[in-house]
Structure 1
Amino acid sequence: MTVPATVTEAPPPFQDHVIELVSSEASKITGVSVYTSRAEITRLFKLDLKTGQNQIIIDGLPNGIDKDSVRVDGHGSATIHDVTISPTPPKPAAVLTSPTLEELRTKQTSIENAKERAKNASDFLVTYLSKQDPPQIDPRKLQDIIDNYETASHKLDEKLTKLRADQRVVSEELRKEEEILRLNYAATAPSGMLYRRATVAVFADAEGPVELELRYAVTNATWTPIYDVRIDTEAGLKDKPVVLTYKASIAQHTGEDWRGVPIVLETSKPTVGVNLPSIHPWKLSVYAPPPPPRYPAQPMMGMPMMGQPPVIIQSRSRSSSRSRSRSRERRRRSRSRSRSPRRIVIQQPSIIALPAQSMPPPPVLQQMMAEASRASDFNVTFTVPGLMSIPSDRIAHSVTIVKLELGTTLEWVSIPKVDAKVYLKAVIKNASDYSFLSGTSSIYLDGSFIAKSRIPSVSPGQSFDCSLGLDPSIRVTYPPLSKNLVQTGFVTKSKTQTYTQQIAIHSTKSVAVDNLIIRDQVPVSEDSTIIVKLSLPSLEAPDVRNASNTKTMFSMQKETVVNKSGVRVPAPVNVGNGVVAQWDGVDNVLSEDDVGSLGKDGLLFWKCSVPPQGKVNLSLRYEVSAPVDSRITGLSN
């Protein structure tokens, strides 16, 4: 039995379906993550797919979109095959029209035609009258001809006048209607910053609704931290006299308006690529300079120029006869040396660059980032409560992140040698769980705005200085320096000058000032024959020669203390009631090896406690010794 072959018919091919959408009309923004130099937008599209291949074309995306950042997720019985980003093809120029505009244009044409007819009729009357032959006209009819011409011309003139007035009215109405059409078109047409297209290929097993979530990064969006710092100096015993309001200033001009969207502020750098970077071999070699190039003989030797290669000047014989007589001797000498002619090499000044080491390639998508401090080992994320609307207008919009009450220590600082004014600053400790990013701050002191300043990056637990301006209630007097010259020595004559500087402090405050810092200096010798000795206050520099031995390092000091970095440094010297003196920079010493540098720059300070309505007097005395015949420069400073 012969079994007939079974013929299987191929299923009909699926038809491609094209769905064209405009981003702002067919979707809504469900989330915005703003970084310091860009933003990530999430849009949700709801649409119906046909069975088979669907090509979804989304127009109106920002020009600043990062095509490598585009991601599409879907919900429904469909498969996403491909996503591409391309410029939006140019469209034909839009024709702006309306029934009102067409009616006005028809009326304008009718008026133009009526004006042309009236002008032709007027020209005809003039031509007709000019062709009349006066001798052949009946004198009794001459007056009638003139009267008829006058009447007809008057009617035509009135008609032309009315037509011109009607034309002006219609022209103004036309202008207004065209302006309305242009404004309406500009309000609905995509802006010049929204000419990117996303094409998404989706295969649907069955017809039905789906949801597509489009995510993309875009430039021209940023946020920066700003602060309001309010300090209450009159609340003396208050534990937390500082109220710091942490804000974010958000601005964007991406071309898209963010209307009623949730916003998240990120301090990290957005990363599009997920590939692990590679490291290349680090090779070293001995630099071998290339041989100097040869140049033709120069007629004259000029001055060498910086950066030029060596100039090689071939030596010349004084005469051809001497050259021939010495040729044999030169040939004999050439056996034991190079055959190149004797030459004079003038080496130009140059900088020889060593070969650069092989470095890994730069990471993808380098972005300028503001300095961001970290909480634990993670970047900080701030979620803005509620919904915000931020149009694409470059205007900064402020939102409050958190309001904190912090503790502070007030310090009054003066450098009377430079300026006798007293400056007030607050040392504020970040006792919160928030990391402060570097940003501008508005400073309010006792309810009054005093200045704009800048807060550095501060991690939780760290402190920062906040300048509060001048405090006129504390006066510092810095009279002229007094000096006394004494000559000593018998065989080797030397001269010693003693300098004394008095500093007077007067506080008119009704409360005590516990942290008044007065900074000054003594000269520093740069010559071994000049000796500078500080006698008041009795600060002694650490022994630099024994700096490596911590046991003998402070042999000249009676006491030591531990600074903010945990390093043991010389203790301050008590010079009076509530006044201590210390070398400047003790809190900046980071290791025991750096302690020996204290006092080498001649900078010192007093820390004073001034009672209410009280006065404090400070004295600075030092000696400068040098040979009698030496002339010391710099003392006038």
Structure 2
Amino acid sequence: MLSPTKFLNAAESPVKAVTIFQSATAELTRTFTVELVGGRNVLEITGLSSRVDMESPRIHGLGTDARVFDISCDTKLSGAPGARPKKNGDAVERLKLAIKAAEAERDVHRGEYDMLDNAVKSLPSETTAREMDALMDKFVERKKRAMKSVMDCEQTIAVLKKELWRLESASTGETAGRVVATILAKRACRVTFQLTYLVAGVSWQPYYDIHASTAEGKPSSEISLLYCANITQSTGEDWSDTVLTLSTANSQALRSLSVPVIEPLKVTPTPPPPSQTQPPMSRFLGVEASSSDDDDMELLVDDDEYAISGPPTTVDRSPLSLSYHVDGLVTLPSDGVAHKVLIAMLDFTAELKYVCVPCKNTSAFIEGTVKNTSEYELLAGPVSVFMDDSFVTKTSLNLISVNESFDCVIGIDTALRVTYNRKSRTEQEPERSFAERTKTTTRTITTTATNGHPFDISNLVIRDSIPLGNEEANIKVMLGKPDGLARARDREEVTVGLVGEVTEAKVRWSKVENGRGGEKDGMYEWVCVVPAGKKVQLEAEWAVKAPSNVKWEESVNADGVQK
């Protein structure tokens, strides 16, 4: 004998907890209370998302007096006649019927309007003037009423269609999911159980807002980072007053997890490398050479002067993932729109410096080096930067672990003016009987930084590069200034005497990052202190010696080796 079925509507048992994975899936938990009879009980739970993973539903918390005997899941209700199984489905169907009724009434009044015209045309010819006047009065009145009725219907249809659009766009996804479970009870009892299941159509991505501030024009080293999540869901189920957890794990609902299989290996001879046409790496950034009878030099750069508080969040770490439990209850409708949820507000102290690369851009960028002293691992994501609550720029973060540092530009200092001037002179050596004739081009770079602030700038970094030579073309580069840089080791700071208002600065080879930079690539940087209202003048000089019939130019050495 079949047991009677108890029907439960998921919409009447709101989602209590949601865990969103970074794999477009989420685990949902609903709580139901039901009266069981002793023996066999069949429960049919409807109103679940049509994007449910049909192998995932589980029932927990039945206690010792009942157990699950059988459970199944399907989305067959999607093919049922009538309203679509989605939020506001019945209301949408009622609106569609109301629109059809209004359109039918409008068509009737249009027909009445047309019939009045035909009635006038068919009047008998013996109609008297008095009769015609009376008929025309009635005709005009009826036609005005018919036209007004048509216009009223059009207005009603427009209102109904707008409401229909609002209801249809307010929710995405359908709820044709259904779970049927057989529960065996030892005795008649009342139980409260949890139904958990996985759904697709959910995603979360981290994003950050960095807020910096100034005091009397001077940037503060204290910055705030808002760690947020963009959450989008179109499951068909609204989540109201839900406990939310964001997980970095990839849900295993749609893929299996297994230990990789090791492959057998053997040793085989390595084919010989292709012939090397490039000389070994030299000290400076490369210059390209081509044979020419013209002694003029082409430069790529002209010799011109350029002028929030939010709810706290608990972090759980496991060997497989990182989870953020947002404190407080969250409401997220199934509308397919990205909702911004605050995970945490973090305060950091940044090490500020002013950075300028005048050969590319004479702007002085305010850059902060921030150490992640929080308990949060900062996932890769977009960053919006604000200075004094005004938007500055967009950038991005790579994965930043706890106690790891990252750099971020927080603005441009318009009161720090930097100019960049390049000058060159070329000298031809006299022709000799037993030696190749050569020419020497001396390049002088003058960089001037003027501090327009009423406070000192204690850490100004100005970066530039020196070209590498080309042994194949017999082009050599000799570094003359800054004094002592040619003999310095990587990251060793050399103190250089200056002429002008600032009499001293430091210079060093730049830091090697991702295999680029430093002495091997000819990339160096000045480190200066510029007092308030003063300016510093920096000079670099090198000589390029090449055969007199070789025309050369500076170009970017993209592969990082001598050309």
TM-score normalised according to structure 2 size? 0.70
Residue 459 of structure 1 aligns to a residue whose secondary structure is coil
Match of 2:435 among 469, 489, 492: 492
Match of 1:280 among 243, 247, 261: 261
Q: Give 1:412-491 correspondences, 5 Å limit.
A: 412-485=354-427, 487=429, 491=434
1:284 Cα deviation (Å)?
5.2
- The corresponding residue for 2:507 is 581
- The corresponding residue for 1:206 is 187
Once superposed, what is the RMSD of the aligned Cα atoms?
4.7
Paired residues of 1:54 and 1:204 also in contact (CA < 8 A): yes
Quote the Cα distance in structure 1 between the aligned partners of 2:25 and 2:454. Answer: 52
1:508 Cα deviation (Å)?
0.8
Q: Which has the higher strand share?
A: 2
- The corresponding residue for 1:135 is none
- Kindly tell me: are residues 158 and 510 of structure 1, through their superposed partners in 2, closer, same or farther at Cα, counting changes over 3 Å? closer
Q: Which residue type is aligned with residue 46 of structure 2?
A: D
- Kindly tell me: are residues 57 and 492 of structure 1, through their superposed partners in 2, closer, same or farther at Cα, counting changes over 3 Å? same
Q: Deviations over 1:117-163 (max 9, x none)?
A: xx9xx9xxx99xx9xxxxxxxxxxxxxxx99xx99xx99x979x989
Paired residues of 1:246 and 1:400 also in contact (CA < 8 A): yes
- The corresponding residue for 2:353 is 411
Quote the Cα distance in structure 2 between the aligned partners of 1:420 and 1:205. Answer: 81
2:549 is the alignment partner of 1:604: no
Q: Which residue type is aligned with residue 34 of structure 1?
A: I
Q: Which residue type is aligned with residue 492 of structure 1?
A: A
Q: Which residue type is aligned with residue 458 of structure 2?
A: D
Q: Which residue type is aligned with residue 71 of structure 1?
A: R
1:602 Cα deviation (Å)?
2.0
Q: Which residue type is aligned with residue 199 of structure 1?
A: V
- The corresponding residue for 2:544 is 624
Quote the Cα distance in structure 1 between the aligned partners of 2:437 and 2:423. Answer: 22
Larger radius of gyration: 1
Q: Deviations over 1:555-577 (max 9, x none)?
A: x65xx6xxxxxxxx451221134
2:3 is the alignment partner of 1:16: yes
Quote the Cα distance in structure 2 between the aligned partners of 1:43 and 1:262. Answer: 11
- Kindly tell me: are residues 423 and 64 of structure 1, through their superposed partners in 2, closer, same or farther at Cα, counting changes over 3 Å? same
- Kindly tell me: are residues 74 and 494 of structure 1, through their superposed partners in 2, closer, same or farther at Cα, counting changes over 3 Å? same
- Kindly tell me: are residues 578 and 175 of structure 1, through their superposed partners in 2, closer, same or farther at Cα, counting changes over 3 Å? closer
- Kindly tell me: are residues 615 and 175 of structure 1, through their superposed partners in 2, closer, same or farther at Cα, counting changes over 3 Å? closer
Quote the Cα distance in structure 1 between the aligned partners of 2:342 and 2:554. Answer: 55
Q: Which residue type is aligned with residue 49 of structure 2?
A: P
Q: Which residue type is aligned with residue 617 of structure 1?
A: Q
- The corresponding residue for 1:68 is 55
Which segments of 5 or more consecutive residues in structure 2 lack a partner in the other structure?
Answer: 84-89, 269-314, 498-502, 557-563
Match of 1:80 among 65, 68, 73: 68
2:19 is the alignment partner of 1:33: yes
- Kindly tell me: are residues 20 and 415 of structure 1, through their superposed partners in 2, closer, same or farther at Cα, counting changes over 3 Å? same
Paired residues of 2:477 and 2:542 also in contact (CA < 8 A): yes
- Kindly tell me: are residues 574 and 192 of structure 1, through their superposed partners in 2, closer, same or farther at Cα, counting changes over 3 Å? closer
Paired residues of 1:222 and 1:252 also in contact (CA < 8 A): yes
Quote the Cα distance in structure 2 between the aligned partners of 1:281 and 1:432. Answer: 39
Residue 327 of structure 2 aligns to a residue whose secondary structure is coil
Quote the Cα distance in structure 1 between the aligned partners of 2:150 and 2:428. Answer: 104
Quote the Cα distance in structure 1 between the aligned partners of 2:384 and 2:183. Answer: 53
Which segments of 5 or more consecutive residues in structure 1 lack a partner in the other structure?
Answer: 1-13, 131-145, 288-372, 542-555, 561-568
- The corresponding residue for 1:633 is 552
Q: Percent identity?
A: 27
Quote the Cα distance in structure 1 between the aligned partners of 2:522 and 2:94. Answer: 83
Residue 214 of structure 1 aligns to a residue whose secondary structure is strand
Residue 55 of structure 2 aligns to a residue whose secondary structure is helix
1:169 Cα deviation (Å)?
6.6
Q: Deviations over 1:157-215 (max 9, x none)?
A: 979x98996999799799979x989989x989x97521122121222233332223111
Paired residues of 1:586 and 1:598 also in contact (CA < 8 A): yes
Paired residues of 1:59 and 1:88 also in contact (CA < 8 A): no
- Kindly tell me: are residues 510 and 587 of structure 1, through their superposed partners in 2, closer, same or farther at Cα, counting changes over 3 Å? farther
Quote the Cα distance in structure 2 between the aligned partners of 1:227 and 1:636. Answer: 37
1:85 Cα deviation (Å)?
1.7
- Kindly tell me: are residues 225 and 570 of structure 1, through their superposed partners in 2, closer, same or farther at Cα, counting changes over 3 Å? closer
- Number of equivalenced pairs: 474
Q: Which residue type is aligned with residue 572 of structure 1?
A: E
TM-score normalised according to structure 1 size? 0.63
